[in-house]
Amino acid sequence: MRGLILQATGSWYLARIDDEKVVECRLPGKFRLSEEEVTNPVAVGDIVHITMQSDGTGRIEHIEERKNRLLRKATHNRRGVQVIASNVDYVLIVQSLRQPVFKTGFIDRLLVCCEAHEIVPVIIINKTDLQISRKDASDLAEVEKLYTGLGYLFCKTSIFDEETVRSLGDLIKGKISVMTGHSGTGKTSLLNLLAPGLDLKTGDVSLFSNKGKHTTTFTRLVALSDDTYLIDTPGIREFGLVDLESYELSLYFPEMRTFRESCRFYNCTHRHEPGCSVKKAAEEEHIYPSRYRSYLHILDGIEND
């Protein structure tokens, strides 16, 4: 039978079958041998084929091809990469205008990850009920203009405005979404409104784990309805730029793609090379200064990794 992996904890997995029944499953050793580059052959979000055993548990026989996967480098000094989640439709990037102040650099890094993994990002500015200065309002309008102009989905939400939360719920209906953002941006409060039955405590670092800040945790997929799921994990902010070469980075900045075609060198990093059309476009502000700064910061991280 066919199942959706809801939780992965070492050698045991929870899979949802028949749209409602959840069974414990084990993974044969052959999968671990055939997936040497990853530390976890099965990840949350995987679609698997299961054979039921006499003790009521399942045995995973086959993993269907993934449409995408979120990666990060393996932890605890292990080699390879870890698959955080697979078959993801949206990454919900939650920021707040104040308390804490939003950071475009954080948004830009996650946008690069989404572009690289072919996942649709949704930028969410939460806590719009807070009183803000005229400058904050101007900054928000500029940020919205920037990212919507690049073709990204952009939402403004407040837990005190049911319509904004309902609109977000309608957007993610029927999808598997990953929610990410810094502590204090209101992720938990939004989740409690999207799925009141969860009754999560605000201020929790890990929304769906049984552990605390400094202990091993696991990723879990939570159903908001029969066809709508949310994933959250303490390490989700680390996902992304695995095996990305420096000259490839600009491919994941949509506004740079056309300009990079005119660069003198095919492997131009757009930082110091002569005849660089991207650098010229940034100097002439055809590319937003904040985006070019983010590009350079991410580039430094790739080259110094």
For residue 212, the model assigns a pLDDT of 32
Is the Cβ–Cβ distance between 193 and 158 less than 8 Å? no
Q: Which two tokens stand for residue 39?
A: 């530390």
**pLDDT tens readout for residues 126-173:** 988 877 778 888 888 999 999 999 999 999 999 899 899 999 999 999
User: 280 by DSSP, 3-state: which?
Assistant: helix
Kindly indicate the confidence band of residue 32, based on its pLDDT and cuts at 50, 70 and 90. low
What's the half-sphere exposure (Cβ side, CA atoms, 13 Å) at 220? 14
| Backbone phi and psi for residue 86, each to the nearest 5 degrees, phi listed first | -135, 165
In the chain, where are the structural domains located? Answer: 2-65, 86-238, 246-303
Q: What average pLDDT does this structure show over 74-80?
A: 65
2-65 has CATH 2.40.50.140 classification: yes
CATH number of 246-303: 1.10.40.50
For residue 213, the model assigns a pLDDT of 38
CATH topology of domain 86-238: Rossmann fold (3.40.50)
Indicate the pTM of the whole model: 0.85
Q: Which two tokens stand for residue 81?
A: 């990469």
How far is 278 from 261, CA to CA, in rounded Å? 9
Q: What average pLDDT does this structure show over 165-182?
A: 92
